[in-house]
Amino acid sequence: MAQNKLITMDEFTIQETRKFPQATGELSSLLRDIGLAGKIVNKQVLKAGLVDILGKHGATNIQGEEQMKLDVYANETLINILKNSSDCAGIASEENDDHVCYEDTFSANSKYVVLFDPLDGSSNIDVNAPIGTIFSIYRRVSELGKTCTKEDFLQPGNRLMAAGYIIYGSSTMMVYATKISVNGFTLEPSIGEFCLSHPNIRIPENGKIYSINQGNTVKYTEGMKSYLNYCMESNKEEGRPYSHRYIGSMVADMHRTLIKGGIFMYPADKSSARGKLRLQYECNPMAFIVEAAGGKATYGNGNILDIVPTELHQRTPIFIGSKNMVNKALEFVAEKEMVG
Ligand code: AHG
Ligand code: MN
Ligand code: MN
């Protein structure tokens, strides 16, 4: 039956938190703030094709404002909105060398810290392909009432309170996961609200698509190469080869994987022993979302979410997606070959 009432993300989150009498609503307002940042970034993304007309990074526009690169703009937008939020003690961003602790009293009394990749897939901006923002929310481990510390940002993914992404695609969507469920909200531009469009997302246990930068094959391990051959052959699960899809924006490739099923991989290779993708800004949040949706995420020797980070910008190999496909890949990618 067609649903005739739009449920906004705020309404939904508030209804969900009411199920937990001890919840204070801080997480809901943090999600709302991240959604607001997403809407502001989205407005700028929509104009990205006009950059040659409106001015490039460093140029000054007609109002005398300096034009910013989209990833710098997204980063500053998130940092400023979360600074003004009463529920965020500090942030760490893929774009900043170190974490940032907000110094005011409100922030010092806030329970949460947020980590983000402000603009994922930035090489796709020029070709109008989907890009995104990825975020993670942890409860801080440092003492409440004081400024946050580095330890707050070096927690393993299994301690995440929530994680999600905003995809700037053919429509703009925000997807977020808590331990209980994953839900997707599509931006309704006429009212400027994210509205529930994909309730209780479950990733199919099997899929027909593998997603990897196959141009790197020459650098892959023998196990990895044999798994790719398996994907390209008529395998017994499908009776035909899998399809290959790779956009090169993790958010876009993962959004498809979550909805349609499949496997996404960025393995270690001869030139990068830990792969390319960042544990804290890309892999942990995606692993948390996929696991909450019933899928699996591994670095080859164990769960992504169990890695205890030692540095903010650490990288990890990743195999993530439909449970049965990830398990199959693990049969090929022998333990001894994994560097992660
Ligand atoms: P970012 O734009 O935040 O630097 O991330 C790009 C990442 C990720 O989105 C994508 O999956 C991957 O880089 C693509 O890398 P390759 O071009 O090496 O395939
Ligand atoms: Mn990224
Ligand atoms: Mn980025």
Quote the pLDDT of residue 307: 98
Specify the residue with its C-alpha closest to ligand 1, atom 6. 121
pLDDT over 50 at 233, yes or no: yes
Specify the residue with its C-alpha closest to ligand 1, atom 17. 248
Distance (angstroms) between ligand 2 centre and the Cα of 276 equals: 10
Which fold would CATH assign to domain 209-337?
A: D-Maltodextrin-Binding Protein; domain 2 (3.40.190)
Residue 160 near residue 113 (C-beta atoms within 8 A) = no
Q: For ligand 1, is residue 125 a contact (CB within 6 Å)?
A: no
Q: For ligand 1, is residue 323 a contact (CB within 6 Å)?
A: no
Give ranges for CATH 3.40.190.80 in the chain: 209-337
Nearest CA to 264 out of 223, 229, 231, 219 is that of 231
Q: For ligand 1, is residue 248 a contact (CB within 6 Å)?
A: yes
Distance (angstroms) between ligand 3 centre and the Cα of 122 equals: 6
Ligand 1 atom closest to 249 (CA): 9
CA–CA separation, 270 and 218 (whole Å):
9
- DSSP assignment of 167-213 equals EESSSEEEEEE-SS-EEEEEEETTTTEEEEEE-S----SS-SEEE--
Give ranges for CATH 3.30.540.10 in the chain: 9-198
Residue 296 near residue 323 (C-beta atoms within 8 A) = yes
Mean pLDDT for the stretch of residues 143-151: 96
Quote the pLDDT of residue 23: 75
Q: Is the pTM of this model over 0.85?
A: yes
The CATH number of 9-198 is 3.30.540.10
Distance (angstroms) between ligand 3 centre and the Cα of 326 equals: 25
Residue 326 near residue 304 (C-beta atoms within 8 A) = no
Tens of pLDDT, residues 215-224: 999 999 999 9
Quote the pLDDT of residue 51: 72
* Residue of higher predicted confidence among 50 and 263: 263
Using DSSP, state whether 133 is helix, strand or coil: strand
Q: For ligand 1, is residue 278 a contact (CB within 6 Å)?
A: no
Closest ligand to C-alpha of residue 252 is 1
* Backbone phi and psi for residue 250, each to the nearest 5 degrees, phi listed first: -55, -40
